[in-house]
Amino acid sequence: MTPLLSAHGITVRYGSLAALDGVDLRIEPGQRHGLIGPNGAGKTTLLDVLAGSTRAGGRVLLAGRDVTRLGPAARSRRGIGRIHQRPAVWSTLTVRENVLVAALPRAVRPGRWHPSARRRAAERTADALLTRVGLEEIAALPAGQLAHGQRRQVEIAMGLAGRPRLLLLDEPAAGLSAVEVAWLGEFLRTLPRAVGVLLVEHRLDLVYALCDTVTVLRDGRTLATGSPARIRASGPVREAYAEGVA
Protein backbone atom coordinates (compact mmCIF):
# COMPACT_ATOMS: atom_id res chain seq x y z
CA MET A 1 0.00 0.00 0.00
CA THR A 2 1.22 3.51 -0.76
CA PRO A 3 2.07 5.21 2.53
CA LEU A 4 0.13 8.33 3.48
CA LEU A 5 3.44 10.01 4.17
CA SER A 6 7.02 8.98 3.64
CA ALA A 7 10.04 11.05 4.44
CA HIS A 8 13.53 9.95 3.41
CA GLY A 9 16.90 11.14 4.65
CA ILE A 10 15.57 14.34 6.26
CA THR A 11 18.51 16.51 7.29
CA VAL A 12 18.46 20.00 8.80
CA ARG A 13 21.65 21.77 9.90
CA TYR A 14 22.00 24.93 11.95
CA GLY A 15 25.70 25.74 11.64
CA SER A 16 27.56 22.76 13.09
CA LEU A 17 24.40 21.36 14.77
CA ALA A 18 22.45 18.67 12.92
CA ALA A 19 18.91 19.20 14.24
CA LEU A 20 17.92 16.25 11.99
CA ASP A 21 20.43 13.84 10.52
CA GLY A 22 19.05 11.52 7.86
CA VAL A 23 15.67 10.77 9.45
CA ASP A 24 13.23 8.43 7.68
CA LEU A 25 9.55 8.30 8.61
CA ARG A 26 6.64 6.34 7.20
CA ILE A 27 3.00 6.81 8.12
CA GLU A 28 0.43 4.40 6.71
CA PRO A 29 -3.09 5.54 5.75
CA GLY A 30 -5.24 5.78 8.87
CA GLN A 31 -2.26 5.38 11.16
CA ARG A 32 -1.80 7.28 14.39
CA HIS A 33 1.91 7.73 14.79
CA GLY A 34 3.60 9.11 17.90
CA LEU A 35 6.88 11.03 17.77
CA ILE A 36 8.67 11.24 21.09
CA GLY A 37 12.14 12.01 22.42
CA PRO A 38 14.00 14.23 24.85
CA ASN A 39 14.13 18.03 24.55
CA GLY A 40 16.09 19.12 21.51
CA ALA A 41 15.73 15.73 19.77
CA GLY A 42 14.38 17.36 16.60
CA LYS A 43 10.65 16.63 16.89
CA THR A 44 9.35 20.14 16.17
CA THR A 45 11.94 20.55 13.42
CA LEU A 46 10.64 17.38 11.75
CA LEU A 47 7.04 18.66 11.93
CA ASP A 48 8.25 21.97 10.41
CA VAL A 49 9.91 20.08 7.57
CA LEU A 50 6.81 17.96 6.89
CA ALA A 51 4.57 21.06 6.96
CA GLY A 52 6.94 22.80 4.52
CA SER A 53 7.97 25.67 6.80
CA THR A 54 11.62 24.55 7.18
CA ARG A 55 13.83 23.62 4.24
CA ALA A 56 15.66 20.34 4.55
CA GLY A 57 17.76 17.83 2.69
CA GLY A 58 15.90 14.65 1.74
CA ARG A 59 12.48 13.96 0.24
CA VAL A 60 8.89 14.12 1.46
CA LEU A 61 6.10 12.24 -0.31
CA LEU A 62 2.39 12.61 0.46
CA ALA A 63 0.33 9.68 -0.79
CA GLY A 64 3.14 8.88 -3.23
CA ARG A 65 3.45 12.42 -4.61
CA ASP A 66 6.67 14.33 -4.11
CA VAL A 67 5.87 17.51 -2.11
CA THR A 68 9.48 18.27 -1.18
CA ARG A 69 9.57 21.53 -3.10
CA LEU A 70 6.14 22.77 -2.01
CA GLY A 71 5.71 25.48 0.64
CA PRO A 72 3.32 25.36 3.63
CA ALA A 73 0.23 26.71 1.80
CA ALA A 74 0.53 24.21 -1.06
CA ARG A 75 1.10 21.33 1.36
CA SER A 76 -1.90 22.43 3.39
CA ARG A 77 -4.04 22.38 0.21
CA ARG A 78 -2.82 18.84 -0.44
CA GLY A 79 -3.95 17.73 2.99
CA ILE A 80 -1.24 18.35 5.58
CA GLY A 81 -2.79 20.11 8.60
CA ARG A 82 -0.80 21.48 11.52
CA ILE A 83 -1.59 22.22 15.17
CA HIS A 84 1.16 24.39 16.65
CA GLN A 85 2.84 24.13 20.02
CA ARG A 86 1.40 27.54 20.98
CA PRO A 87 -2.18 27.91 19.79
CA ALA A 88 -2.08 30.17 16.72
CA VAL A 89 -5.47 31.88 16.67
CA TRP A 90 -6.50 35.37 15.54
CA SER A 91 -7.26 37.02 18.87
CA THR A 92 -9.44 39.86 17.48
CA LEU A 93 -11.65 37.49 15.47
CA THR A 94 -14.41 35.53 17.14
CA VAL A 95 -14.07 31.82 17.73
CA ARG A 96 -16.43 31.13 14.81
CA GLU A 97 -14.62 33.53 12.48
CA ASN A 98 -11.31 31.81 13.23
CA VAL A 99 -12.70 28.43 12.19
CA LEU A 100 -14.50 29.97 9.22
CA VAL A 101 -11.27 31.50 7.90
CA ALA A 102 -9.66 28.07 8.12
CA ALA A 103 -12.64 26.39 6.38
CA LEU A 104 -12.96 28.83 3.46
CA PRO A 105 -10.01 27.70 1.30
CA ARG A 106 -11.23 24.08 1.24
CA ALA A 107 -14.79 25.19 0.39
CA VAL A 108 -13.57 26.41 -3.03
CA ARG A 109 -14.81 24.65 -6.15
CA PRO A 110 -13.25 26.79 -8.89
CA GLY A 111 -15.58 27.63 -11.75
CA ARG A 112 -18.58 25.94 -10.19
CA TRP A 113 -19.46 27.74 -7.01
CA HIS A 114 -20.74 31.22 -6.40
CA PRO A 115 -18.83 32.95 -3.56
CA SER A 116 -21.94 33.03 -1.35
CA ALA A 117 -22.41 29.26 -1.79
CA ARG A 118 -18.78 28.78 -0.90
CA ARG A 119 -19.25 30.87 2.23
CA ARG A 120 -22.35 28.91 3.25
CA ALA A 121 -20.45 25.64 2.82
CA ALA A 122 -17.60 26.98 4.98
CA GLU A 123 -20.11 28.14 7.60
CA ARG A 124 -21.67 24.69 7.76
CA THR A 125 -18.23 23.12 8.18
CA ALA A 126 -17.25 25.66 10.86
CA ASP A 127 -20.48 25.24 12.84
CA ALA A 128 -20.27 21.45 12.74
CA LEU A 129 -16.68 21.57 13.98
CA LEU A 130 -17.48 24.04 16.76
CA THR A 131 -20.17 21.64 17.98
CA ARG A 132 -17.75 18.73 17.73
CA VAL A 133 -15.09 20.40 19.86
CA GLY A 134 -17.72 21.77 22.27
CA LEU A 135 -17.27 25.49 21.61
CA GLU A 136 -20.63 26.35 20.07
CA GLU A 137 -21.78 28.32 23.13
CA ILE A 138 -18.80 30.66 23.01
CA ALA A 139 -18.60 30.89 19.20
CA ALA A 140 -19.27 34.66 19.26
CA LEU A 141 -16.50 35.52 21.75
CA PRO A 142 -13.25 37.07 20.52
CA ALA A 143 -10.63 34.29 20.58
CA GLY A 144 -8.30 36.61 22.52
CA GLN A 145 -10.59 36.29 25.55
CA LEU A 146 -10.29 32.52 25.79
CA ALA A 147 -8.28 30.47 28.26
CA HIS A 148 -5.37 28.42 26.90
CA GLY A 149 -7.31 25.14 26.80
CA GLN A 150 -10.15 26.71 24.81
CA ARG A 151 -7.68 28.27 22.35
CA ARG A 152 -6.28 24.78 21.87
CA GLN A 153 -9.81 23.58 21.03
CA VAL A 154 -10.22 26.43 18.52
CA GLU A 155 -6.94 25.51 16.85
CA ILE A 156 -7.94 21.87 16.62
CA ALA A 157 -11.20 22.91 14.94
CA MET A 158 -9.17 25.15 12.59
CA GLY A 159 -6.79 22.30 11.79
CA LEU A 160 -9.71 20.00 10.93
CA ALA A 161 -11.50 22.72 8.92
CA GLY A 162 -8.83 22.33 6.24
CA ARG A 163 -9.95 18.67 5.89
CA PRO A 164 -6.47 17.24 6.39
CA ARG A 165 -5.45 13.78 5.31
CA LEU A 166 -2.62 14.05 7.80
CA LEU A 167 -2.77 16.10 10.99
CA LEU A 168 0.53 17.14 12.59
CA LEU A 169 0.08 17.89 16.30
CA ASP A 170 2.90 19.56 18.23
CA GLU A 171 2.54 18.98 21.99
CA PRO A 172 -1.22 19.58 22.05
CA ALA A 173 -1.43 18.63 25.76
CA ALA A 174 1.15 21.24 26.87
CA GLY A 175 -0.38 23.62 29.41
CA LEU A 176 -3.68 21.74 29.63
CA SER A 177 -5.31 20.67 32.90
CA ALA A 178 -5.88 16.97 33.66
CA VAL A 179 -9.54 17.30 32.61
CA GLU A 180 -8.55 18.99 29.35
CA VAL A 181 -5.91 16.31 28.61
CA ALA A 182 -8.58 13.64 29.11
CA TRP A 183 -10.87 15.53 26.71
CA LEU A 184 -8.06 15.82 24.15
CA GLY A 185 -7.26 12.10 24.30
CA GLU A 186 -10.92 11.18 23.84
CA PHE A 187 -11.36 13.70 21.03
CA LEU A 188 -8.33 12.43 19.10
CA ARG A 189 -9.56 8.86 19.55
CA THR A 190 -12.85 9.80 17.89
CA LEU A 191 -11.21 11.32 14.80
CA PRO A 192 -12.13 9.35 11.68
CA ARG A 193 -9.44 6.92 10.62
CA ALA A 194 -9.34 8.67 7.25
CA VAL A 195 -7.26 11.31 9.04
CA GLY A 196 -3.72 10.15 9.71
CA VAL A 197 -2.10 11.61 12.83
CA LEU A 198 1.49 12.44 13.70
CA LEU A 199 1.53 13.33 17.39
CA VAL A 200 4.52 14.98 19.09
CA GLU A 201 3.88 14.82 22.81
CA HIS A 202 5.77 14.59 26.09
CA ARG A 203 2.70 13.09 27.80
CA LEU A 204 3.65 9.51 27.01
CA ASP A 205 0.42 8.13 28.50
CA LEU A 206 -1.47 10.01 25.79
CA VAL A 207 0.88 8.79 23.04
CA TYR A 208 0.79 5.14 24.14
CA ALA A 209 -3.01 5.17 24.51
CA LEU A 210 -3.67 6.76 21.12
CA CYS A 211 -0.94 5.69 18.71
CA ASP A 212 -0.46 2.46 16.77
CA THR A 213 3.22 3.15 16.13
CA VAL A 214 5.77 5.28 17.94
CA THR A 215 9.06 6.70 16.67
CA VAL A 216 11.71 7.88 19.10
CA LEU A 217 14.15 10.60 18.09
CA ARG A 218 17.34 11.52 19.88
CA ASP A 219 19.95 14.05 18.78
CA GLY A 220 18.33 14.33 15.35
CA ARG A 221 18.35 10.60 14.65
CA THR A 222 15.80 7.80 14.86
CA LEU A 223 16.49 5.70 17.93
CA ALA A 224 13.59 3.26 17.48
CA THR A 225 10.23 2.75 15.76
CA GLY A 226 7.64 0.23 16.90
CA SER A 227 4.43 -0.52 18.72
CA PRO A 228 3.76 1.37 21.95
CA ALA A 229 4.34 -1.87 23.91
CA ARG A 230 7.75 -2.39 22.29
CA ILE A 231 8.81 1.22 22.73
CA ARG A 232 7.65 1.31 26.33
CA ALA A 233 9.68 -1.80 27.12
CA SER A 234 12.85 -0.60 25.38
CA GLY A 235 15.76 0.08 27.73
CA PRO A 236 17.64 2.46 25.37
CA VAL A 237 14.46 4.47 24.87
CA ARG A 238 13.90 4.81 28.61
CA GLU A 239 17.52 5.90 29.04
CA ALA A 240 17.26 8.47 26.24
CA TYR A 241 14.10 9.85 27.74
CA ALA A 242 15.56 10.01 31.23
CA GLU A 243 18.25 12.33 29.83
CA GLY A 244 15.97 15.26 29.52
CA VAL A 245 12.34 16.15 29.22
CA ALA A 246 11.13 19.53 30.42
Interacting residue ranges for ligand ATP, rule: CB under 6 A = 14, 17, 19, 37, 39-45
CA distance 113 to 115: 6
**Least Å from the CB of residue 63 to ligand ATP:** 25
Give the nearest distance from C-beta 20 to ligand ATP in angstroms. Answer: 8
Least spacing, CB of residue 6 vs ligand ATP, in Å:
20
Cα separation, 107 vs 114, whole angstroms: 11
Q: Which of 2, 39 has the CB closer to ligand ATP?
A: 39
Element holding 73 (H helix, E strand) = helix 72-77
Q: How far apart are CB 203 and ligand ATP at their closest, in Å?
A: 12
CB closer to ligand ATP out of 18 and 70? 18
* 20 versus 102: smaller Cβ distance to ligand ATP: 20
Beta-carbon contacts of residue 49 (< 8 Å; ≥ 6 apart): 7, 10, 12, 20, 55, 56, 58, 60
Instruction: State the minimum distance, in angstroms, from the CB of residue 27 to ligand ATP.
Output: 18
Of residues 27 and 138, the one with the C-beta less far from ligand ATP? 27
Q: Report CA-CA distances (Å) from 19 to 75, 225, 241.
A: 22, 19, 17
Residue whose C-alpha is closest to residue 23's, from 41, 3, 4, 2:
41
Output 45 or 76, the one with its CB closest to ligand ATP: 45
